[in-house]
């Protein structure tokens, strides 16, 4: 690797390397971002189809879907530790290490599935204890006991996605998710309404369709791996009974902090939603509009973050420190640029965005529209820092640094974000806008600290220490 003096004397090669790394990051991330956006669209379609069954069904189904997705995301975040580990091993040319990491990822996915499935299966009693209407809790349980069969394939799919993405096969992931979305929509229609001789299952039909779509994507991706020569050469489906405790501990070492961080970040928005609910129905409706909009735009930088993890991890495995640094900064820049564009759109066209959810000309919606415009203005501000923090987190995962980002997340999101939001919202009487400024402050702190940490450890930590961490 060239010294800093040499680098200063050769600006053109460095500039060319920047362009190469930025282009690589873009093409790695684009299919993953598309896959994330498609999955988000699936949830939207499910919600719309639940609405066809009535207001009580959409309330119960929406609650059940939120619980399922939250637990699934935590589980998939943990097993996604396979991604940086495989990327580093792949970059270093250690094929046997890749095999062991993926196989232990399978074991971890199955182990995590058991408590998650048990929790979802018995969720009705938990909901009733928490004060939910018994009728809604029972209907929610109907959905959850159908969709619960999708947990095992969802977590196993996350392992396989991490494996193929880490080897730069990201385009098949996008195509398979697109196919899975189509299967889910068709399954919803058939099982909801009992078409083509199938039983009419209503809300449960949506749950079964979602579970089936996960099994479909798992099998399809498995077949792709089996028949794709490069991927099949890793033989990840062999010796599945072998439990390698050292490798499993390595996956857990990186994966558990990733799961905790996912829980903490999701918890920030969940608790904020509860606090907004205390301000009344109008505030809650406006909050949901702005939150759903921000959630959709966030899927793209999330995909960029996944691509950045792979890119940085591969460069670390190759012993290319400068390449790893440029890969991380490229991901952060791409994510920031995308969120800057969406932030400008939110700032300039809030009414047009709100019209996608509500009839803005209906006088009864005026109060909601006005509040939603205010929240979208704040969302436009934190779009940028939200994009920075998710890409910086992805870059740090590529360096296999997950414990410190976990601590940063807890302090920034719950310590600073929630406390400042509560103070602004309730003590300064800013209402939901104050709570959203708390979100922005928490995300801004996280983005600054995580970017600084990536800059520091990508320069200072020995590559051998990263590979062993």
DSSP per-residue codes, 254-279: HHHHHHHHHHHHHHHHHHHHHHHHTT
Q: Are residues 328 and 457 in the same domain?
A: yes
Our CA angle for 197, 198, 200, nearest 5°, is 120
In a domain, 455, yes or no: yes
pLDDT for the residue 5: 37
Q: Looking at the structure, do residues 378 and 439 belong to the same domain, yes or no?
A: yes
Domain co-membership, 228 together with 97? yes
Upper half-sphere CA count for residue 283 (Cβ side, 13 Å): 17
Asked if 318 and 345 sit in the same domain, the reply is: yes
Q: pLDDT value at position 243?
A: 81
Q: Where is the domain boundary, 243, 267, 296?
A: 243
pTM score of the predicted model: 0.85
* Residue 197 shares a structural domain with residue 326: no
Tokens of residue 304, six digits: 């960029």
Domain end position, chosen among 206, 221, 243: 243
Residues 6+ apart with CB under 8 A from 79: 105, 108, 109, 112, 155, 158, 159, 162, 251, 255
Q: Which domain holds residue 162?
A: 30-243
Q: Is residue 106 situated within a structural domain?
A: yes
Q: Burial-class residue 22 by CB neighbours within 10 Å (0-12, 13-18, 19+).
A: middle
Q: How far apart are the first and last CA of the chain?
A: 22
The conformational region for residue 198 under phi > 0 = left, psi -120 to 50 = alpha, else beta, is: beta
Task: Tell whether 4 is covered by a domain.
Answer: no
**Residues 263 and 192 placed together within one structural domain of the fold:** no
- 3 is a domain residue: no
Task: Note whether 395 and 313 are within 8 A (CB).
Answer: no
Within-domain flag for 95: yes
Q: Are residues 218 and 263 in the same domain?
A: no
Residue 61 covered by a domain: yes
State how far the Cα of 280 lies from the Cα of 307, in Å rounded to an integer. Answer: 40
On whether both 153 and 84 belong to a single domain, the answer is yes
CA 430 to chain centre: 30
Residue 65 lies in a domain: yes
Alpha-carbon Rg of the chain, whole angstroms? 22
Per-residue pLDDT of the chain (469 residues; tens, 9 = 90+): 343 334 444 444 666 777 888 888 888 888 888 888 887 777 777 766 776 777 677 667 777 887 888 899 899 999 999 999 999 999 888 988 999 999 999 999 999 999 999 999 998 888 777 666 788 788 889 999 999 999 999 999 999 999 999 998 989 999 999 999 999 999 999 998 898 888 888 889 999 999 999 999 999 999 999 999 999 999 899 888 878 889 999 999 999 999 999 999 888 887 887 788 778 777 877 887 888 788 889 989 999 999 999 999 999 998 888 889 999 999 999 999 999 999 999 999 999 988 887 778 888 888 888 998 999 999 998 889 999 999 999 999 999 999 999 999 999 999 999 999 999 999 898 988 999 999 999 999 999 999 999 999 988 765 555 544 4
Same domain, residue pair 239 and 289: no
Residues 227, 326 share a domain: no
Q: Are residues 108 and 164 in the same domain?
A: yes
End position of a domain, from candidates 220, 243, 266: 243
Q: Is residue 170 domain-shared with residue 269, that is, in the same domain? A: no
- Quote the distance between the C-alpha of residue 352 and its chain's center: 27
Into how many domains does the chain fold?
2
Domain annotation covers residue 1: no
Q: Is 170 helix (H, G, I), strand (E, B) or coil?
A: coil
């Amino acid at each position: 690797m060239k010294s800093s003096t040499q680098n200063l004397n050769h600006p053109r090669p460095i500039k060319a390397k920047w362009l190469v790394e930025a282009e690589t990051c873009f093409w790695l991330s684009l299919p993953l971002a598309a896959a994330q956006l498609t999955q988000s669209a699936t949830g939207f379609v499910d919600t719309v189809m639940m609405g066809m069954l009535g207001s009580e069904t959409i309330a119960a189904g929406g609650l059940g879907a939120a619980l399922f997705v939250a637990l699934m995301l935590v589980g998939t975040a943990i097993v996604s530790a396979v991604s940086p580990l495989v990327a580093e091993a792949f970059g270093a040319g250690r094929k046997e290490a890749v095999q062991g990491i993926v196989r232990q990822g399978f074991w971890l996915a199955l182990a995590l599935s058991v408590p998650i499935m048990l929790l979802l299966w018995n969720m009705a009693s938990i909901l009733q204890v928490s004060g939910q209407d018994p009728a809604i809790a029972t209907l929610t349980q109907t959905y959850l006991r159908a969709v619960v069969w999708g947990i095992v394939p969802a977590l196993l799919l996350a392992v396989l996605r991490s494996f193929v993405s880490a080897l730069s096969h990201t385009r098949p992931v996008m195509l398979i998710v697109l196919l899975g979305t189509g299967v889910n929509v068709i399954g919803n229609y058939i099982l909801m309404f009992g078409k083509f001789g199938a039983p009419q299952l209503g809300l449960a039909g949506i749950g079964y369709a979602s579970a089936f779509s996960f099994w479909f994507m798992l099998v399809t991706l498995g077949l792709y791996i089996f028949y794709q020569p490069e991927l099949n050469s890793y033989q990840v489906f062999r010796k599945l009974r072998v439990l390698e405790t050292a490798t499993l501990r390595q996956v857990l070492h990186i994966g558990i902090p990733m799961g905790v961080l996912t829980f903490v970040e999701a918890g920030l928005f969940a608790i904020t939603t509860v606090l907004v609910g205390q301000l009344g129905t109008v505030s809650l409706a406006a909050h949901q509009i702005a939150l759903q909009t921000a959630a959709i735009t966030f899927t793209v930088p999330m995909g960029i973050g996944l691509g950045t993890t792979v890119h940085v991890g591969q460069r670390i495995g190759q012993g290319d420190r400068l390449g790893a640094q440029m890969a991380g900064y490229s991901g952060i820049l791409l994510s920031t640029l995308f969120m800057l564009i969406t932030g400008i759109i939110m700032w300039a066209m809030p009414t047009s965005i709100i019209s996608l959810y509500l009839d803005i000309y209906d006088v009864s919606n005026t109060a909601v529209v006005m509040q939603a415009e205010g929240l979208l203005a704040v969302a436009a501000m934190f779009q940028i820092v939200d994009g920075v923090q998710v890409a910086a987190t992805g870059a740090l995962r590529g360096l296999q640094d997950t414990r410190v980002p976990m601590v940063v997340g807890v302090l920034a999101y719950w310590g600073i974000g929630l406390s400042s939001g509560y103070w602004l919202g309730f003590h300064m009487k800013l209402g939901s806008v104050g709570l959203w400024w708390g979100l922005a402050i928490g995300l801004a702190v996280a983005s600054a600290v995580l970017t600084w940490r990536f800059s520091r450890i990508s320069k200072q930590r020995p590559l051998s220490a990263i590979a062993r961490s």
